[in-house]
Chain A
Amino acid sequence: MSALPSALSQFVDKNRAASALFVVVAVGFLCLALQPVAPWLFKWPAALQIPAAEWIGAGLGFILEAFKPIARGFSALMSYPMAGANFLFVSTPWPITIGVVTAIGWYIGGWRMAALGLFGLLFVLASGYWVEGMNTLALVAVSVPLALLAGLAIGMLAYEYPRFKSPVQAVLDVMQTVPTFAYLTPLLLLFGFGPVVGLIASAIYAAPPMARNVLLGLERVESEIKEAAVMSGGTRLQQLFLVELPSATTQIMVGVNQCLMAALSMVIIAAVIGGFNDIGWEVLLTMRKAQFGQSFLAGLVIVVFAIIIDRMSAKLAQERSRHDKRVVYGIGATGVVISIALLLGGSLPNPSELAVFDAIADAVDKSLGAFTAANGANLDAIKNNIVFFMLLPLRIGLDGAVLPFTWGFQWTPDMSLWLFAVAAILAAALAYSGRALGAVMLLFTVLLVETGIAELPWLFVLFGVGVLGYLSGGRKLSILVVVLMGLILISGLWERALLSLYLSGVSVFACALVGGASGLLCAVSPLAWRIVRPICDMLQTIPLFVFLIPVLMFFQIGEFSAFLAICAYAIVPMIRYTQHGLTTTPHELLDAATTSGATAWQTLVEVRAPYAMPTILLGLNQTILYAFAMLVIAALIGTTGLGQSIFLALGKADVGLGIAAGAAMAILALVADRLVQGFAEERRKALGL
Chain B
Amino acid sequence: MSEASAAISCRNVWQVFGADAEQKLAKALDETGGAPAGAADLLRAQDLIPAVQDACFDVKEGELFVIMGLSGSGKSTLIRCISRLLDSTKGEILISGEDIMTASKARMIELRRHKLGMVFQHFGLFPHMTVGENVAFPLKMQGTGKKERLQRALEVINLVGLEGRQEAYPRELSGGQRQRVGIARSLAVNPDIWFLDEPFSALDPLIRRQLQDEFLNIQRTLKKSIVFITHDITEALKLADRIAIMRDGAIVQIGTPADIVLKPVDDYVAEFSRDVATGRHATVDSVMKSGKDINDKLKDDPGLRTDMTLEAALASCMSLYEEVPVRDEKGNLVGTVSPNELAKASLQLEADK
Contact = CB atoms under 8 A, between A and B. Distances in A.
* Same assembly: yes
Interface of A: 222, 224-225, 227-235, 238, 242-243, 246-247, 249
A249 B128 contact: yes
Interface in B162-181: none
A462 B288 CA distance: 86
Residue picked from A224, A225, A231, most chain B C-beta under 10 Å? A231
Contact of A222 (B83, B113, B124, B129): B124
B126 A230 contact: no
B105 to A, nearest CB: 8
A152 B279 CA distance: 61
A229 B138 CA distance: 8
B148 interface: no
Nearest to B197: A224
Given A228-B118, A228-B185, 7 more contacts: A225-B126, A227-B80, A228-B126, A229-B126, A231-B118, A238-B141, A243-B126
A247 B127 contact: yes
Contacts of B182: 228
A225 B125 contact: yes
13 contacts: A225-B126, A227-B124, A228-B125, A229-B126, A231-B83, A231-B112, A231-B195, A232-B141, A233-B112, A233-B113, A242-B137, A242-B140, A246-B128
Contacts of B121: 224
A231 B126 contact: no
B112 A225 contact: no
Nearest to A228: B124
Contact of B117 (A230, A231, A246): A231
B108 to A, nearest CB: 8
B14 interface: no
Contacts of A246: 126, 128-129
B112 A230 contact: yes
Contacts of A243: 126
A232 B123 contact: no
B242 to A, nearest CB: 24
B227 to A, nearest CB: 13
B35 interface: no
A222 B123 CA distance: 10
Interface string B109-123: 111111011101111
A222 B140 CA distance: 21
B142 interface: yes
Contact of B85 (A231, A233, A234): A231
Interface of B: 80, 83, 85, 109-114, 116-118, 120-129, 137-138, 140-142, 182, 185-186, 189, 195
Contacts of B186: 231
A230 to B, nearest CB: 6
A321 to B, nearest CB: 13
Contact of B109 (A224, A233, A242, A249): A233
Contacts of A224: 120-124
B142 to A, nearest CB: 7
Contacts of B128: 246-247, 249
B86 to A, nearest CB: 10
Contacts of A230: 85, 112
Chain A facing B: main interface SS: helix
Nearest to B139: A232
A231 B85 CA distance: 8
Given A246-B128, A247-B127, A247-B128, A231 B116 contact: yes
A238 B112 CA distance: 14
Contacts of B83: 231
A227 B197 CA distance: 12
Contacts of B118: 227-228, 231
Given A246-B128, A249-B128, A233 B123 contact: no
A586 B85 CA distance: 37
Contacts of B122: 222, 224
A103 B124 CA distance: 36
A233 B141 CA distance: 6
Contacts of B124: 222, 224-225, 227-228
Contact of B138 (A222, A225, A233, A235): A233
Residue picked from A224, A229, A247, most chain B C-beta under 10 Å? A224
B257 to A, nearest CB: 28
A227 B109 contact: no
- 4 smallest CB-CB distances across A and B, nearest first, come from A233-B113, A224-B124, A228-B124, A233-B112
Nearest to B117: A231
Contacts of B111: 233
B126 A235 contact: no
A234 B109 CA distance: 7
A230 B137 CA distance: 11
Contacts of A229: 126, 137
A466 B129 CA distance: 53
Contacts of A222: 122, 124
A214 to B, nearest CB: 16
Contacts of B126: 225, 228-229, 243, 246-247
Nearest to B188: A232
A48 to B, nearest CB: 44
B129 to A, nearest CB: 8
Contacts of A232: 112-113, 137-138, 141, 185
A334 to B, nearest CB: 33
B120 A233 contact: no
Contacts of B80: 227
Residue picked from A222, A224, A233, A249, most chain B C-beta under 10 Å? A233
Given A222-B122, A247-B127, A227 B138 contact: no
A233 B110 contact: yes
A227 B186 CA distance: 12
A662 to B, nearest CB: 39
Nearest to B182: A228
A387 to B, nearest CB: 56
Nearest to A224: B124
A227 B137 contact: no
B195 to A, nearest CB: 8
A41 B151 CA distance: 83
Nearest to B121: A224
B229 to A, nearest CB: 13
Contacts of A247: 126-128
Nearest to B86: A227
Contacts of B137: 229, 232, 242
Contact of A235 (B109, B117, B129, B189): B109
Contacts of A234: 109, 141
Contacts of B125: 225, 228
Nearest to A221: B127
Nearest to B122: A224
A233 B189 CA distance: 10
Residue picked from B80, B110, B137, most chain A C-beta under 10 Å? B137
A249 B129 CA distance: 12
Nearest to B142: A233
A224 B125 CA distance: 8
Contacts of B189: 233
Contacts of A242: 137, 140
B224 to A, nearest CB: 15
Nearest to B80: A227
Nearest to A227: B85
Residue picked from A222, A227, A228, A242, most chain B C-beta under 10 Å? A228
A227 B83 CA distance: 10
Contacts of B117: 231
B81 to A, nearest CB: 13
A240 to B, nearest CB: 13
A247 B137 CA distance: 14
A225 B195 CA distance: 15
A233 B85 CA distance: 11
Given A233-B112, A233-B142, A249-B128, A228 B85 contact: no
A245 B110 CA distance: 23
B177 to A, nearest CB: 17
Contacts of A225: 124-127
B101 to A, nearest CB: 16
A249 B169 CA distance: 15
